Structure 1
Amino acid sequence: MPTTLITTPTFARHADRPWQILKEADAGPRRLPTAELLQHAAEADALIVGMDPITAEVMDAAPRLKVIAKHGVGVDTIDMAAARTRGIPVVCAPGSNSRAVAEYTFGLLLSATRSLTASHTEVAAGGWPKLFGPELHGKTLGIVGFGRIGRLLAGYARAFGMELLAHDPYVQGDDIRAHGAEPAALDDLLARADAVSLHTPPDPSGAPLLDRARLAAMKPGAVLVNAARGGLVDEHALAELLGSGHLGAAALDAFSTEPLPADHPLRMAPRTLLTSHMAACTPEANQAMGAMVAEDVVRVLAGEAPHHQAR
């Protein structure tokens, strides 16, 4: 019987079906703490992982490994070149969490602009603040990355009467316009948008998309929302620009180091909303994501081609 090692704690957390798929196919599912992966890698015919870094070292320690499944969408934590060299397919769950992330992102935007969490904190402590924040109607939202999530977010923003700019070098301008947004170069978008939301993978080089210069070039008072990847933003520069008042607010669900270190400057930055990389955490997304990767693991272990192979 093959063995499927599962290191992501959220697999099948709110749905039995993903686990059942593996058990019914005799795929040998077994949960394993991430810290023990390298120690037990030799036992794995399949891996189902979350944010774990799956390096060439991990693959070399797993001579039986036939498939790596990302319990999610982005595969930037997996050494894709090493997997290709070793002939190990990498599968993921495209579209499974798009609506969850888009809804959450809009919630971050609304909360950041209207200081909802700041008001809650003060009221819970006995205060009664009257915190002012701008209406979203008539404001311009810049969406960086116009795939499934960006397009859903655009629909929510239009319902609030927002104007839309979108930057995505892989999407044609006519396609962007068809979804009610104006195509824009990144630097133009940053200069014009009242709020910017990131929905793009990080640069393979590790360099932040929004470095200090680009953050400083954002429209004064603008709000930054990041529910994608922490490596997209120079977090120290962001904290400084929030402190100086150049940026109006930031709402972040992803960070370059997770969990967020105790001494991280964003912990003390003003007008900042920080959440624990939970945008995709809905029961609906959890079921869809788990079922998609479980089914592809079963296919590969049976010698069949997966339906959702990452490239």
Structure 2
Amino acid sequence: MYKIISTSPTFGKYSKKPLELLSRNHCEVTFLSNQTPFFKTDFIEALKEADGLILGFENITDEILSNAPKLKIIAKHGTGVDNIDIVAAQKRGIVVANAQGANRHAVADFVFGTMLSISRKICESSNLVKRGDWQSIIGNDIYGKTLGVIGTGKIGKEVIRRAKGFNMDILAFDLYPDRTLEQLNLVKYVSFDELIGTADIITIHADLSNKSASMIGKSEFDRMKKEALLINTARGGIVDEDALYEALYSKKIKGAALDVFQTEPLGNHKLLELDNFFATPHIAGYSEEALVEVGFITARNIINVLSGLDAEYEVSPCEGGLN
């Protein structure tokens, strides 16, 4: 029987079928919650006998991996792997895998829900009515606007497909452009500076890496349109939150919506004081349908590796991580 540790708060929560799949393949899962007082001690102790790890949000460093002599796979229950030292894992012969694309529809839907909500001031209007205040708040259309998409991977592509239904003019930036999108007349790839200065709405779908850390800072906000909206459902470190606060406070840009932050949970952040700031608790990829699919991919990644096969979605160091 293989010993598997899960620190993910949602693995197996919305469907037991991924757990059943692991059980049928001789894997016994132990759940550890980082909300318990002795989590760190329990986690290190459990790693000593673990064959596989289903990872939530904990940072996995080389020091932590030194306590895991039997570990063969770290399966991220999700997409982002910036909390894993991938190089250190691979040096120890540990496969790092994630569930690429499993939540792409959930995130793309969320981006458009957010876009519509902040553009049409839906939340503000609902709150007024609930307080007994019946008045019209005038927002803006997103139909026909210029959308800037930073990152055209699986999620970025789904955002682009939805944007075409709104007759949006779509600009894109990616270090590795998918020219097929241009050939299909779905997007126009432009420089990062052109996208920042031209788009009415900017949505981020890039991994967090040395190249993308603080990609959106003071100079970028200075070049954005005054009516621009910024949406980040990717990773918190991509946006300089102090620079964002200044841009919103001084009305350099019209508004911003973040689902991800440099430190989570957010706590008492000064951004929350601003009327033109919209915040959600890292839930863009968390639809029930997406979580079930992520669970199955996570389980199959573990089963494959422990059976001597390739993971469905193995991650390489160039795709991000703590290295």
Report the TM range for the smaller structure's normalisation. Answer: over 0.9
| Structure 1, unpaired ranges of 5+ | none
Aligned to 2:14: 14
AA at the equivalent of 1:287: V
Tell me whether 1:233 sits opposite 2:242 in the alignment.
Answer: no
Aligned to 2:321: none
Residues 203 and 209, structure 1, Cα contact 8 Å, conserved in 2: no
Tell me whether 1:292 sits opposite 2:297 in the alignment.
Answer: yes
For residues 158-217 of structure 1, the C-alpha deviation after alignment (integer angstroms, 9 at most, x for no partner) is: 111211101112014453352511111111001000000000012236731101111221
> Identity across aligned pairs (percent)?
36
Which runs of at least 4 in structure 1 moved beyond 3 Å after TM superposition?
172-177
Change (3 A) 1:102 1:214: same
Aligned to 1:76: 82
Aligned to 1:258: 264
CA distance in 1, matches of 2:212, 2:172: 23
Aligned to 1:160: 166
CA distance in 1, matches of 2:247, 2:135: 25
AA at the equivalent of 2:23: K
CA distance in 2, matches of 1:174, 1:40: 46
Q: How many residues align?
A: 310
| Structure 2, unpaired ranges of 5+ | 317-323
CA distance in 1, matches of 2:210, 2:59: 14
* CA positional deviation for 1:110: 0.8
Aligned to 1:94: 100
Tell me whether 1:194 sits opposite 2:209 in the alignment.
Answer: no
Residues 142 and 166, structure 1, Cα contact 8 Å, conserved in 2: yes
AA at the equivalent of 1:281: Y
Tell me whether 1:310 sits opposite 2:310 in the alignment.
Answer: no
TM-score calculated relative to the size of structure 1:
0.95
CA distance in 2, matches of 1:77, 1:212: 26
* CA positional deviation for 1:39: 4.1
* CA positional deviation for 1:250: 0.9
Aligned to 2:29: 29
Change (3 A) 1:114 1:177: farther
AA at the equivalent of 2:59: P
SS at match of 1:90: strand
CA distance in 2, matches of 1:177, 1:225: 27
